[in-house]
Amino acid sequence: MKDAKLIAKSHPAHQTSIDLGHEITVGGDELLIIGGPCTVESLTQMEQVATQLAGSVQALRGGVFKPRTSPYSFQGMGNAGLAILDDIRQRFRLPVVTEVMAIAQIKAIAAQADMLQVGSRNMQNFDLLKALGKTRQPVLLKRGLAATIEEFVMAAEYIVSHGNANVVLCERGIRSFDNYTRNVLDLGAVVALKQITHLPVIVDPSHAAGKRELVPNLAKAAIAAGADGLIIECHPEPEKSVSDARQALSLEEMVALVHSLRPIAEAVGRQIPGLRQPVLAIA
């Protein structure tokens, strides 16, 4: 394995905690649970998501620049979607995570979201990684569709070596021979990454499973394996999601899942933050 210089763990207790704003951190004793739709579809949709999840999750997700397999599929709301995320994060005082696909999008996303996701398809887009390294914005780096652990680690090293230490790794499943699940969740990588690097490591069971009924137990397994958090797709009307409908939980299922994770978190010495102070649901 090539040596990571800056993100290598120097001793077992060496662990970075990253501030996402809104008094939320990742990498400490408290887990980071991120919930929300694959794609931002409307202000009403995001208000429903935020209102129902505000007491359960620590951050919201929603893509506005979407990397779709087909060029004929909906490509995301773009800047109009960013404005929705900005509105929601201010009113609900929760960090929001959204995907950045191009260097030209960084400035606008950094101004209107709290964490920039580099999707699987861009994990080795080295120019994008270098450009994100020149910001101080937290980056959620997802593992490539078929990336080795070494390639994943070195992609994170690209961002950190260009000046941005605020990187969170995300295991989201890798391609294998079996297509019953969309991808294969590699929990061995989570355990290994926690030993190799001092960066926080979170898990995306939604894109790993591709089927909603598999998500809760994979989420539990990820926390038991030592993950620092989860990013999970959920939607007010899962079947109507414009993308990734088959893997989306309902908001009620998401709230129930977070509740069911508490004893598992405690068993491995972690906590899930409790209900936050009341939020302004209406502007």
The residues of the shown chain that bind ligand PEP, judged by CB under 6 A, are 38, 63, 67, 119-121, 142, 172, 204, 207
Looking at beta carbons only, is 27 or 205 nearer to Mn ion?
A: 205
Q: Does 99 bind Mn ion (CB under 5 A)?
A: no
Q: Residue 115 phi/psi, 5° resolution? A: -140, 135
Chain residue whose CB lies nearest ligand PEP:
119
Q: Which stretch binds Mn ion (CB under 5 A): 30-38, 44-52, 101-109, 267-275?
A: 30-38
Minimum distance from CB of 170 to ligand PEP (Å)?
Answer: 7
Kindly state the number of chain residues that form the binding site for Mn ion, as judged by CB under 5 A: 2
d(CA 51, CA 44): 10
Nearer to ligand PEP, 35 or 119 (CB): 119
Shortest Cβ 207–ligand PEP spacing (Å): 4
Closest CA to 62 of 34, 87, 98, 90: 98
The dihedral through the CA atoms of 59, 63, 67, 72 has a sign that is positive
Residue closest to Mn ion, measured at CB: 38
Residue 190 buriedness (CB in 10 A; 0-12 / 13-18 / 19+): buried
- Tell me the closest approach of the beta carbon of residue 214 to ligand PEP, in angstroms: 16
Burial class (CB in 10 A: 0-12, 13-18, 19+), 98: buried
Q: In the complex with ligand PEP, which residue's Cβ is closer, 190 or 270?
A: 190
User: Do residues 147 and 119 make contact, with C-beta atoms less than 8 angstroms apart?
Assistant: no
3-state secondary structure of 93: coil
Q: Which one of residues 20, 32, 34, 38 is an interface residue with Mn ion (CB under 5 A)?
A: 38
Query: 238-267: which residues touch Mn ion (CB under 5 A)?
Result: 244
CA-wise closest residue to 115 among 131, 130, 94: 94
Least distance between ligand PEP and beta carbon 89 (Å): 18
| 175's tokens | 């391609």
Identify which of residues 38 and 154 has a Cβ nearer to ligand PEP in the complex. 38
Interaction partner, residue 216 (Mn ion, ligand PEP, none; CB < 5-8 Å by kind): none
User: ∠212-173-46 over CA atoms, to 5°?
Assistant: 50
120/125 with CB nearer ligand PEP: 120
Shortest approach of Mn ion to residue 239 CB, angstroms?
Answer: 15
Q: What is the DSSP string of 98-122?
A: EE--SGGGHHHHHHH-SEEEEPGGG
- Compare residues 58 and 206 and give the one whose CB is closer to ligand PEP: 206
Residues that bind Mn ion (CB under 5 A): 38, 244
